[in-house]
Amino acid sequence: MRQKRAKSYRKQMLVYNHAFKFREPYQVLVDDQLVMDCYKSHYDLVGGLKRTLQAEVKPMITQCCIQALYSTRIQEAIDIAKNFERRRCNHPPKEARPPAECIQSVVNINGHNKHRYVVASQDVNLRRKLRRVPGVPLVHISRSVMVMEPLSEASRLLNQRWEEDKLLKGLNDPKLAGLRTPEIEDQDQQPPPAKKHKGPKNPNPLSIKKKQKPKVQEADSRDEEDKRRKRRRKHGHGTSERGAAEEVQHKDATNQIKKNQEEAAATSD
């Protein structure tokens, strides 16, 4: 592969990686005509795909393409296709359809390349239809050389929108979805799962001290009681019966002493 062409292919795959979220190994959907041409020209199909895409690839083929190869009865071509991963068709298995129609139904899902396939096909009409779907890399063989088509107009316009949104809104904008499919947008809108914290969420109730009652009310009640006692003592109220009896005895003793003194003074005269 010439250096200039390899550099161009590398830039194209970078666009598909950043704008359309392609990841290695690339899923390459192969049709029956490409397998037959590679068999006739003794071309290494898997090696050519790796050199063209400059990455690891995962060749895939639909059941309708396998049936088309079985109808040729060329066992060598059938053995090549058997090494590829089978891709289930989007139509009932009993309803066999032409390979081009089958591949188009697998790739074009509501106008998006949902599963991010790289299509390697020799069918010109199929490639013309898939150019209308954004984000579909197209590969074919021309004169024993594997060629990747340049970005289609649909892919270029969506890539341009993505670049403009990136400049105006920033990379961290959650609505930077110029090229994103509805499936990717739904995944972004889902809230992140809550983290599970191990261990008790609240402290052990046995280790918590009991709440103590405020001492302000108790102190206020004591001050009020002291004031009440002083008030009673001042006015002579509130004494106990024992205190009253002692006071009466003290007064009687004082009167008796005065009386004795008066009598002693009278006798002395």
Condensed to tens digits (0 to 9), the pLDDT of residues 188-223 reads 556 677 777 676 677 777 878 777 766 555 566 777
Looking at the structure, do residues 108 and 234 belong to the same domain, yes or no?
no
What's the rounded mean pLDDT across residues 45-70? 94
Assess whether pLDDT exceeds 80 at residue 17. Answer: yes
**Mean pLDDT, residues 218-232 taken together:** 73
State the pairing for strand pair 145-148/138-142: antiparallel
Average pLDDT, integer, range 55-79: 93
Give the confidence band of 187 by pLDDT, cuts at 50, 70, 90. Answer: low
Same domain, 8 and 120: yes
Which domain CATH number covers 87? 3.40.50.1010
3-state secondary structure of 95: coil
Model pLDDT for residues 118-155, shown as the tens digit of each residue: 999 999 999 999 999 999 999 999 988 999 999 999 99
One domain, residues 65 and 148: yes
Give the domain extent around 56.
3-182
135, 158 contact by CB (below 8 A): yes
Is 42 within a domain?
yes
- Coil, strand or helix at 127: helix
Q: What is the pLDDT of residue 263?
A: 80
pLDDT over threshold 80, residue 3: yes
What string of DSSP letters covers 185-244?
HHHHHSPPPPPPPPS-SS--GGGSPPPPPPSHHHHHHHHHHHHHHHHHHHHT-S--HHHH
Q: Taking 50 as the threshold, does the pLDDT of residue 115 lie above it?
A: yes
Measured between alpha carbons, how far is residue 55 from residues 24, 136, 151 in Å? 7, 17, 18
CA dist 242 and 188 (Å) reads 90
Task: Read off the pLDDT of residues 249-262 as tens digits, 9 standing for 90 and up.
Answer: 767 777 788 788 78
Across the strands, what pairs with 28?
A: 59, 118
Output the pLDDT for position 214. Answer: 65
255 with 147, same domain: the answer is no
Strands 112-113, 108-109: parallel, antiparallel or unpaired by DSSP?
A: antiparallel
For residue 175, the model assigns a pLDDT of 55
The pLDDT > 90 percentage for the chain reads: 48
Does residue 188 lie in a domain region?
no
Examine residue 194 and state whether it is found in any structural domain, yes or no.
Answer: no
pTM: 0.62
Number of domains making up the chain: 2
CA distances from 99 to 32, 68, 83, 221 (A): 7, 7, 18, 99
- The larger pLDDT score, comparing residue 81 to residue 165, is at 81
In a domain, 212, yes or no: no
Residue 80 is assigned to a structural domain of this protein: yes
Residues 30 and 57: their CA atoms lie apart, in Å, by 12
How does DSSP classify residue 155? H
Question: Where a domain ends, among 132, 153, 182?
Answer: 182
Instruction: Say if residue 13 is in the same domain as residue 131.
Output: yes
Are 233 and 178 contained in the same domain? no
Q: Do residues 98 and 170 both lie within one domain?
A: yes
